[in-house]
Structures are given as C-alpha cells and as structure tokens.
Chains A and B, each alone.
Chain A
C-alpha cells in the first residue's frame, strides 16, 4: 500500500520489558516523526528525522526512549524497561520534508504495559 504502516498494531508488555515499534513511511518521504498519544489526549511530539539524521529529540520523555532511522527509510522506536506510564498509542508520520508539509499518519501502535 501507499500509506504509512506501523507494526505491531497492538503490544502488551510486562513492566520492565523492552519493546521495539516499527514504522514504514511513505516511499520518498524525507521526514519522519514519532508522536505519543495518551488516552483522551492529543498526540505529543517525540522526535523527528530528516533522512537518517535525528534533528530533534526534545520530546522523548526519558533516556529509556530511543529512536533510529539508520538508512533513512524505516524507523524503530525503542522503549527500554517499560513502565506503566508508557502505555499509550505511538503514532508515526511522514512528510515530503519538514513540518510545514502535510504529515501522513500511520494507524499507530497501542502499547499497554501491565
């Protein structure tokens, strides 16, 4: 398909486990964004890549969160030693370049930490 895909769609982790969330952006999109959406809230920015360069990671809530995009395409968001407050939907979006172009969002990964 032509859209942004994310996997897994649902993830249940026990507290303390590590998780890895994958994002496949639209082919040719230079920019990739990760957001965290808590229940009943709007998405909150986590981090932003332009190609393989992570230009902004100011939204990552702690050093347990790590994101990479080694070849400038697929991206992985990793959360180490998950905690209950990490439970949220993690959204990935891609755009042609930068924030001012339309961002196309994936369906999200719903993470539940028990």
Chain B
C-alpha cells in the first residue's frame, strides 16, 4: 500500500526567501503525486500533480516540485515566498489510481 511522509510539520520563512516543503513517498507501483494547499476556511486546492510525464512539475502561484524516484521524494519549492502563501500544504500519493493517501500536512508560516 502507498504512503506519504511530510518531513516537517511546520516551516517558517521570511517573505521573499525560498520555500522548501519536503515529502517522501512509498509506493509499489508508479505513483501519481500531488500537492494540495489548504487556506483557513477554504477547500483544498490543487497546486500541481505528477503523473509519469516530466519529472519537474510546475504548478500555480510559482510553485514547482521534482519527482525523484531514486530518493522516493517529491519536494515542493518556490523561489520567493509571499505572505499569501501562508497555509497548510499536503503531499498526496495515488497508487495505480486506486485511492489517494494524504500526508499529515506542513504548516507554512511567512514572516514579513
């Protein structure tokens, strides 16, 4: 069965500095991987997804993630944090399209 581990429960950065949110996955097959963002009192929104095409995936709001099979990682990055990026971020793995497993989430704080 697939699983996902988000290595940091909380990340704090200053506005304008890079963001790195780490995610490792476990899957017996070629997985699909996703990053979702959850702002307070709003629904989960898809940032980006990997489905066995290009290993570097670009998403919305300047975020991108790189699929590294050898490291079983799918870390989320952004070159320059904005105050509006403060939210909860979830890494998600889907194994053969059977179901989606969410990580526990990483809370991103952006300091002015």
Contact = CB atoms under 8 A, between A and B. Distances in A.
A103 B35 CA distance: 12
Interface in B14-57: 32, 36, 41-46, 49, 51
B43 A100 contact: no
A103 to B, nearest CB: 7
B16 to A, nearest CB: 29
A101 B80 CA distance: 29
A35 B97 CA distance: 16
A58 B41 CA distance: 28
Given A43-B44, A91-B44, A107-B43, A100 B102 contact: no
Interface residues of A, number: 26
Nearest to A43: B102
A59 B102 CA distance: 13
Interface string B77-100: 000000000000010001001111
Given A45-B99, A91-B44, A100 B94 contact: yes
Contacts of B105: 40-42
B11 interface: no
A99 B99 contact: yes
B9 to A, nearest CB: 9
Interface of B: 32, 36, 41-46, 49, 51, 90, 94, 97-105
